[in-house]
Chain A
Amino acid sequence: MIWLLGLVVWIVASAGVYLAFSKDVFRCVLGLALMGSAANLILFASGRIDVMNPAVVPLGETVLQNAANPLPQALVLTAIVIGFALVCYSLTLALRLIQASSTDDLQALRMAEPVPTDSVKPPYNGAAHEPTWPGAQSLPPKEVP
């Protein structure tokens, strides 16, 4: 059973990594979601998995035997909720990014770090990608009576 789960994790994780390395923004986000699922499965496996007994410590004993540890399952629930929120956010971000830049090619997204044109000096990012300067003389001109 654990080997089967290992195989599943391997397939999900490699699919996730493959998609995350894609040039396409949406594929990248989907890849991250898949990798999140793989991580959740690994966390899930850290309690025992191949037993179906209730997780109750018998009277007079102190150790849970022959049953899966329920704590990792609780952890996975937390991780799923957080992961879901992050995927929702990243989809919104990807959508805004595509709308604003009218491209979904990740290699064309170089607004924060422009490609250098000079072989020695770094590029200047351009005023469009900088905060607007309030200016030197933006005080309203004094009215001449």
Chain B
Amino acid sequence: MSALAASPVLVPLVTVVLTTLTQKQPRLQNFLSFLGIALFFGCAIALVQGAHRGFPVQAVFGGWGSPFGIEFFIDRTSAAMILITTIMGIASLVFMLSDADTEPKHPLLLPLLHGVLVGVGGSFATADLFNLYVWFEVMLICAVGLLSIGGRIDQLDSAFKYFVLNIFGTLLLLIAIGMVYAATGHLNFTGIAQAATQLSPWVNTLLIGGLMLALLLKAGAFPLFAWLPASYHTLPAPVLALFAGLLTKVGVYAVLRSMGDIFAPAPGVLYEALGWIAAGTMLFGVLGAAYHWDMRRILAFHIVSQIGYILLGIALASEAGNAATLFYTLHHIVVKANLFLIVAMVWRYTGDYDLRKIGGLYKAKPWLGILFLIPALSLVGIPPLSGFWSKLLILQEAIAQGRVAWTVIALLVSVLTLYSMVKIWMEAFWKAHPEPAWTEPVNTRLGPAFAATVFLAIITLSISLYPQPLVEYAQAAAQTLGVR
């Protein structure tokens, strides 16, 4: 029993309470919010250190003992995800100090943002299936709150669609959890893992299939991703970056946890199905991105497309596949959030998100162009950036297993990803601004925005140039998955 295990929930939860109480004093609220995220970051570092030294932090609440009490168990996978969550929180909160698409600021914005972190942290920390459902609900409630808090009609519209489609997912998850409990008599991950070996393959397939349906909806996998590009682009930029980085990845993490850990090895047909779902997710996501001209919508479809790569790693059902999945997820969260933030800075300079209405930025702000290219080319997978290493790890394993079709689709999708990144580059940076009278605005407040995006770009560059520590960490994490 360790109090540190509860910190991914407790620290942001206390921050939520404090920032709600101080909503009348914006300066104090902001200070407390930064204090909270800094403390959370410190705890996450301690969790990673503990997990990496081989002493994963564990807590079983209520004095029931494992596997009956609700358990928090933070192994290497969970700890890394929690650390990246706090990094995203810091980047998003710093970016919020700028004036690049951060208005209007509702007094409840910060409490809800930390509420999302509570849900995300709880989902990564917990080792109990029903508890996982509760954290998904916390995330959903805070997310719809953030979507509708602006009050613009399109925001309300997208909040409604997000809400309806996601509640389908949570209800499916609830039903699936009920089924798992009825069949195994356990909610604890270890308990389920031990009981599931006694079940017949048919029951096992049904149970995991039901669970996967719910979790894949949450992860934004084909063909259930319609809620994501329908709603994300109405959010203000820092919130959007946080959502893009974290929310779908919680779904992916839960898929990895169940298919790669709790139920591993699951029946082969499920991995086969997951692989084709992953291929479809990649392909249809990137095709949606190729169609759109609104930068936020292009990037929202790219979230879907990249989810496909991550799921492909899980579908390979091997230690190397799981390690590649973790590496890919960590790289992708940083890159994707950074792209959304940089695109908001483009908006601040040029006045629109639609590529047809903007341009001329390379002449005015060449450094912003370089800053954009780092995550953009990393997303595509150009060596030596971090996206190259993560795609290499996944495709190496796919080829080693003889999965030629999936590999070909993945490579084709990379080319299409390059197409839409080049589209943003050509239209926003290279071509002249369609309004000849356009001049770069002088009264911008982009210092914090540059701080946040350069910080994330430095993380990307350090993963790119020195990937070995993270690869080793991911491989060590994958070794502990599936051993229960």
Measuring CB to CB, which residues of chain A are less than 8 angstroms from any residue of chain B?
20, 25, 28, 32, 35-36, 39-40, 42-43, 45-47, 71-72, 75, 78-79, 82, 85-86, 89-90, 93-94, 96-97, 100-101, 109-113, 121-122, 124-125, 128-139
Query: Once bound together, how far apart are the Cα atoms of A128 and B148, in whole Å?
Result: 16
Query: Known interface pairs A82-B134, A97-B160. Does A129 touch B153 (Cβ–Cβ under 8 Å)?
Result: yes
Q: Tell me how far the C-beta of B391 lies from the nearest C-beta in chain A, rounded to whole angstroms.
A: 28
Q: Tell me how far the C-beta of A139 lies from the nearest C-beta in chain B, rounded to whole angstroms.
A: 5
Check B293 against A35 for contact (C-beta < 8 Å).
no
- Which residues between 13 and 40 of chain B lie within 8 Å of chain A, taking CB atoms? none
Query: Once bound together, how far apart are the Cα atoms of A135 and B293, in whole Å?
Result: 22
Q: Tell me how far the C-beta of A97 lies from the nearest C-beta in chain B, rounded to whole angstroms.
A: 5
Check B351 against A133 for contact (C-beta < 8 Å).
yes
Check A97 against B157 for contact (C-beta < 8 Å).
yes
Query: Known interface pairs A109-B160, A112-B233, A131-B103. Does A124 touch B347 (Cβ–Cβ under 8 Å)?
Result: no
Q: Tell me how far the C-beta of B59 lies from the nearest C-beta in chain A, rounded to whole angstroms.
A: 20
Q: Which 5 A-B pairs have the closest CB atoms?
A: A46-B182, A43-B178, A111-B154, A112-B158, A136-B441
**Contact-residue size bin, chain B (C-beta under 8 Å from the other chain):** 35 or more
Query: Known interface pairs A121-B293, A136-B439. Does A111 touch B160 (Cβ–Cβ under 8 Å)?
Result: no
Q: Spot the interface stretch: B163-171, B321-329, B452-460.
A: B163-171
Check B141 against A112 for contact (C-beta < 8 Å).
no
Q: Tell me how far the C-beta of A93 lies from the nearest C-beta in chain B, rounded to whole angstroms.
A: 6
Q: State whether the Cβ of B230 lies closer than 8 Å to any Cβ in chain A.
A: yes
Query: Once bound together, how far apart are the Cα atoms of A113 and B444, in whole Å?
Result: 29
Check B443 against A139 for contact (C-beta < 8 Å).
yes
Query: Known interface pairs A39-B174, A122-B291. Does A136 touch B167 (Cβ–Cβ under 8 Å)?
Result: no
Check B236 against A109 for contact (C-beta < 8 Å).
no
Query: Once bound together, how far apart are the Cα atoms of A121 and B156, in whole Å?
Result: 25
Measuring CB to CB, which residues of chain B are less than 8 angstroms from any residue of chain A?
99, 101, 103, 130, 133-134, 137, 140-141, 144, 148, 151-161, 163-164, 167-168, 171, 174-175, 177-179, 181-182, 187, 230-231, 233-234, 236, 291-294, 297, 347-348, 351-354, 356-357, 438-444
Check B182 against A45 for contact (C-beta < 8 Å).
yes
Check B179 against A137 for contact (C-beta < 8 Å).
no
Q: Tell me how far the C-beta of B185 lies from the nearest C-beta in chain A, rounded to whole angstroms.
A: 8
Query: Once bound together, how far apart are the Cα atoms of A97 and B160, in whole Å?
Result: 8
Q: Which residues of A sit under 8 angstroms from B160, Cβ to Cβ?
A: 25, 90, 93-94, 97, 109
Query: Once bound together, how far apart are the Cα atoms of A12 and B277, in whole Å?
Result: 31
B153: which of A28, A71, A111, A113 is its contact (CB, 8 Å)?
A111
Q: Which residues of B sit under 8 angstroms from A131, Cβ to Cβ?
A: 101, 103, 236, 347
Q: Which residues of A sit under 8 angstroms from B178, Cβ to Cβ?
A: 39, 42-43, 45-46, 72, 75
Check B148 against A32 for contact (C-beta < 8 Å).
no
B161: which of A40, A79, A112 is its contact (CB, 8 Å)?
A112
A96: which of B130, B156, B181 is its contact (CB, 8 Å)?
B156
Query: Known interface pairs A112-B161, A122-B294, A133-B351. Does A97 touch B156 (Cβ–Cβ under 8 Å)?
Result: yes
Question: Besides A39-B178, A129-B154, A131-B236, 14 other CB < 8 A contacts?
Answer: A35-B171, A42-B174, A42-B179, A43-B178, A75-B177, A89-B144, A97-B160, A112-B234, A124-B293, A124-B357, A130-B352, A131-B103, A134-B103, A136-B442
Query: Once bound together, how far apart are the Cα atoms of A101 and B151, in whole Å?
Result: 12
Q: Would you call the interface of chain B mostly helix, strand, loop, or mixed?
A: helix
Query: Known interface pairs A36-B171, A89-B144, A130-B352. Does A137 touch B156 (Cβ–Cβ under 8 Å)?
Result: no
Check A43 against B153 for contact (C-beta < 8 Å).
no
Q: Which residues of B sit under 8 angstroms from A132, Cβ to Cβ?
A: 103
A133: which of B148, B177, B347 is its contact (CB, 8 Å)?
B347
Check A112 against B442 for contact (C-beta < 8 Å).
no
Check A96 against B148 for contact (C-beta < 8 Å).
yes
Q: Tell me how far the C-beta of A55 lies from the nearest C-beta in chain B, rounded to whole angstroms.
A: 14
Check A100 against B293 for contact (C-beta < 8 Å).
no
Q: Tell me how far the C-beta of B365 lies from the nearest C-beta in chain A, rounded to whole angstroms.
A: 14
Query: Once bound together, how far apart are the Cα atoms of A66 and B137, in whole Å?
Result: 34
Check B171 against A112 for contact (C-beta < 8 Å).
no
Q: Which residues of B sit under 8 angstroms from A72, Cβ to Cβ?
A: 178, 181
Q: Which residues of B sit under 8 angstroms from A25, Cβ to Cβ?
A: 160
Q: Which residues of B sit under 8 angstroms from A89, Cβ to Cβ?
A: 141, 144, 163
> B237 — nearest CB in chain A belongs to which residue?
A131
Q: List 16 A-B contacts (CB under 8 A).
A: A32-B164, A35-B168, A39-B171, A39-B174, A43-B177, A72-B181, A79-B133, A89-B141, A94-B160, A101-B157, A111-B153, A111-B157, A129-B154, A133-B348, A134-B103, A135-B351
Q: Tell me how far the C-beta of B440 lies from the nearest C-beta in chain A, rounded to whole angstroms.
A: 8
A129: which of B137, B152, B292, B439 is its contact (CB, 8 Å)?
B152
Q: Tell me how far the C-beta of A62 lies from the nearest C-beta in chain B, rounded to whole angstroms.
A: 12
Q: Which residues of B sit under 8 angstroms from A43, Cβ to Cβ?
A: 174-175, 177-178, 181
> A25 — nearest CB in chain B belongs to which residue?
B160
Q: Tell me how far the C-beta of A102 lies from the nearest C-beta in chain B, rounded to whole angstroms.
A: 10
Check A28 against B164 for contact (C-beta < 8 Å).
yes
> A20 — nearest CB in chain B belongs to which residue?
B164
Q: Which residues of A sit under 8 angstroms from B234, Cβ to Cβ?
A: 112, 129
Query: Known interface pairs A46-B181, A46-B182, A112-B231. Does A137 touch B353 (Cβ–Cβ under 8 Å)?
Result: no
Check A39 against B175 for contact (C-beta < 8 Å).
yes
Q: Tell me how far the C-beta of A23 lies from the nearest C-beta in chain B, rounded to whole angstroms.
A: 13
> A139 — nearest CB in chain B belongs to which residue?
B443
Query: Once bound together, how far apart are the Cα atoms of A100 and B154, in whole Å?
Result: 10
Query: Once bound together, how far apart are the Cα atoms of A79 and B133, in whole Å?
Result: 9
Query: Once bound together, how far apart are the Cα atoms of A72 and B174, in whole Å?
Result: 11
Q: Which residues of B sit under 8 angstroms from A96, Cβ to Cβ?
A: 148, 151, 156
Check B351 against A136 for contact (C-beta < 8 Å).
yes
Check B154 against A112 for contact (C-beta < 8 Å).
yes
Q: Tell me how far the C-beta of B243 lies from the nearest C-beta in chain A, rounded to whole angstroms.
A: 14
Check B156 against A93 for contact (C-beta < 8 Å).
yes
